[in-house]
Amino acid sequence: MTRLDWLNRLSFEDAQAEFLRCCGSQRWAEAMARARPFQNQEALFAEASWLWSQTGPEDWREAMLHHPRIGDVSKLREKFKATGAWSEQEQRGMEGAGEDVIQALAEGNRAYEERFGFIFLVCATGKSAAEMLALLRERMNNAPDQELKVAADEQAKITRIRLEKLLASP
């Protein structure tokens, strides 16, 4: 049985829980669980993207609550048990970062949250700590509504990666 078959056969509640691991929006996860069965992975990815496009600021903010701060590697497994290993992989760019970059990210995260009211969300996969810091600094210039949309787009990228991981998991 493929992982897609497995996902299609889960109970509604179990499927919803798996989708919540990919994106913390309850409304999105429920809609994904209802949309099953998926004929193939492409159909799953297309539906995930379309359903995310139907969400709004409340859903985006809810999804952000399910992410650790960039650079908060020490708390990933403790606080985010369901997605901790995935988050740790996604933030691998923090490995080898200098203390100056780590401190600047911590300070930048605090300033970002004060300005926008939510955590700095970036699809960290493949990015170094310095790249994430540069993005954080650049995005501090965005208007709040614009930044919320940018963060929602980043969530969509993260969701896609996590759906791929879900389908690849043993």
pLDDT, block means (10 residues), the chain with 170 residues: 96 98 97 98 98 97 89 50 52 69 89 96 90 96 98 97 91
Return the active site residues: 67
pLDDT of the residue at 74: 55
Q: Model's pTM, two decimal places?
A: 0.85
- Two domains, one topology: 3-60 and 63-154: yes
pLDDT of the residue at 163: 98
pLDDT of the residue at 77: 41
Ranges of each domain in the chain: 3-60, 63-154
pLDDT of the residue at 79: 42
pLDDT of the residue at 53: 98
The top-level CATH class assigned to 63-154 is: mainly alpha
> Distance between the two ends of the chain, CA-based, in angstroms?
11
Q: What architecture (CATH level 2) is domain 3-60?
A: Orthogonal Bundle (1.10)
